[in-house]
Amino acid sequence: MHAPALTIPEIRRPSPQTHRPARSAALALVAAIAVHLAVLVVLLRQREPDPLSDEFTDAVSVEMVPLSALTLPSPLLPPPLPPANEPSPVVASPVPTTQAPVQQKPAPPPAAPGMIRPRTMLSARSLAGSRQTRLALRSLTSDTRVEQLCGLEAMEQVHAWQRDFQPDRMVVYAMGEPTMTGNMFEADGAAFRSRSLWYNIRFSCELTPDHARVAGFAFAVGAPVPRDNWEDHGLPAVH
């Protein structure tokens, strides 16, 4: 920090006509100023610099508070659970508006009351294990191939439903003629043979568009066919 500059008044030399008392007074003033300058220089050299500049003169006073008197904020806790008798709020998920509608496969027609509709088709598995049967089906006409394919599915489903049944032959036209509408083959008067006995059965067999596989199936097993009626309905006995 520098001391402010002192303005020393200009001292003019008095003319020869100036009186001696005035000259003596001027010399005394110069001497006093020189002494003050010397004292000021000494004081400035001995004074240590002020650690705080003028801009910190308006410092804020700080009060020391003991740690025990401080109130610390509580740790963050999860929100309280709602009471048991109040249901939790349900937030609805946003529904995308730009998603294209998904085309769903049309549901198969419902089965008639009392009919069983299995979820898994079994004829394809049987055909996969018999090359001879696959070749035999290819040599048949379209209508006969559909009858044989749906009859095979019927025998496999009956056995899967009741293990006591061991179907070994199926006659789809035993009690009435089957019908074919589009891809749906229906036999309301069919019969199957198991353990040397014939049983009534009706089924609905849905095929793929190429009529190569079974896509859906429903069936209902009826009462045994009386032995006296076997010959009339073309149901051969086991020889």
Residue 129 has pLDDT above 80, yes or no: yes
The Cα-based distances of 27 to 8, 22, 32, 40 in angstroms read 14, 9, 9, 20
Q: Tell me whether residue 62 is in a domain.
A: no
Q: Is residue 15 part of a domain?
A: no
* The two structure tokens encoding residue 61: 């006073």
Do the domain assignments include residue 154?
yes
Burial of 124 by CB count in 10 Å (0-12 exposed, 13-18 middle, 19+ buried)? middle
pLDDT tens-digit profile of 150-201? 999 999 999 999 999 999 999 999 999 999 999 999 999 999 999 999 999 9
Could you tell me if residue 158 is inside a domain? Answer: yes
How many structural domains does the chain have?
1
230: closest CA among 174, 176, 181?
174
Note the helical H segments in the chain.
20-46, 123-128, 131-138, 142-161
Q: Mean pLDDT for the chain?
A: 73
Burial of 149 (0-12, 13-18, 19+ CB in 10 A): buried
Inside any domain, residue 197? yes
Does any domain span residue 45? no
pLDDT at 226 over 60: yes
Quote the CA–CA distance of 133 and 140 in Å, as a whole number: 11
**pLDDT in the model for residue 134:** 87
Taking the C-alpha atoms of residue 74 and residue 71, their distance in angstroms, rounded to an integer, is 9
223: containing domain? 123-233
Residue 222 lies in a domain: yes
The rounded distance, in Å, linking the Cα atoms of 107 and 110 is: 8
Question: pLDDT tens digits, residue range 67-82?
Answer: 444 444 444 445 555 5
The radius of gyration of the chain's CA atoms, rounded to the nearest angstrom, is 58
In this prediction, residues 213-226 reach a mean pLDDT of 97
**Which one of 11-15, 24-28, 200-204 scores highest in mean pLDDT?**
200-204
For residues 55-67, average pLDDT: 41
Percent share of the chain, pLDDT over 70: 52
